[in-house]
Amino acid sequence: MDKKLEILKEYIKSLDKAAVAFSAGVDSTFLLKIAHEILGDNVVAITAKSDFFPQREIEGAINYCKKEGISHKLIELEIKNEISENPPNRCYLCKKEMFKNFLQFSKNILEGSNVDDTRDYRPGMQAVKELGIKSPLLEAGLTKREIRILSKEFNLPTAEKPSFACLASRFVYGEKITPQKLKMIDSAEEYLLNKGFRQIRVRLHNNIARIEALPDEFEKLLEIREDISYRLKELGFVYVTMDLDGYKTGSMGASLK
């Protein structure tokens, strides 16, 4: 792991100047920390602002950069109709639009994909390759677990932060993404996080909420199931269900197989 960290540092050092696509998640926070440590004022953080990202994540990005004294830019990202129609390559279309906007700030755009991300259905990686976006964590061979361990060593606030993906990933492919549905999902997940669940997803299937929780939190989910059902129905869901397979990244990809 130490060797991988050195590879990462040497990779970033060779760039001279760079901009980091910053979501305030585990990977991008660690990447930004290392990039800022090496490049200093020659690095800038860029965060996309849209209905796909909860305000709490945007505020987390702003607060971290202020605390660390890192130059930070917020970019309003327009959600085009072809993206809101939610085709199987939605992530590709969205990432391409986002990174094209980011490239106006630097020829060296760094994003936080790691080795584990190559094991899921990630069409957004195609956009990364096409636009020449750099993935230093992946180049260094770092896994999510290693990034968390190193984040803890660097005293980063995200070391144990639950994994997060944009809210569009909660929709089954082909179901239109609307601001109202995004708000429903965001509010439902925030409610469950406030109840103390560590890693949670509320996936949307038409009017059905499919809750994914960690298996060791199933009992807790069942203990307050009536409260959860009541609250989610208040938000607009007609049916509230629990996924017996539990939390899984990229689970919506199963509908494409």
Give the mean pLDDT of 201-226: 96
CA–CA gap between residue 127 and residue 102 (Å, rounded): 13
The pLDDT tens digits for 28-68 are: 999 999 999 999 999 999 999 999 999 999 999 999 999 99
Instruction: Give the model's confidence band at 251: pLDDT under 50 very low, under 70 low, under 90 confident, else very high.
Output: confident
The pLDDT tens digits for 196-205 are: 999 999 999 9
Report how far apart, in Å, the C-alpha atoms of 102 and of each of 2, 20, 47, 51, 117 are. Answer: 31, 9, 9, 18, 21
Could you tell me how far CA 76 lies from the centroid of its own chain? 17
pLDDT at 253: 73
Lowest mean pLDDT among 37-41, 145-149, 194-198, 246-250: 246-250
pLDDT at 215: 96
Considering only CA atoms, which of 171, 184, 203, 158 is closest in space to residue 57? 158
pLDDT at 257: 65
CATH topology of domain 167-256: Alpha-Beta Plaits (3.30.70)
| CATH 3.30.70-classified regions of the chain | 167-256
Superfamily of domain 2-153: HUPs (3.40.50.620)
Angle at alpha carbon of residue 65, lines to 99 and 12, rounded to 5°: 60
Report yes or no: 200 and 210 within 8 Å, Cβ to Cβ: no
pLDDT at 207: 94
| CATH 3.40.50.620-classified regions of the chain | 2-153
- Which strand ranges, in their side-by-side order, compose the sheet holding 208-213? 200-205, 208-213, 239-242
Angle at alpha carbon of residue 120, lines to 102 and 97, rounded to 5°: 20
Give the mean pLDDT of 155-178: 93
Considering only CA atoms, which of 42, 2, 49, 5 is closest in space to residue 23? 49
Give the mean pLDDT of 224-245: 97
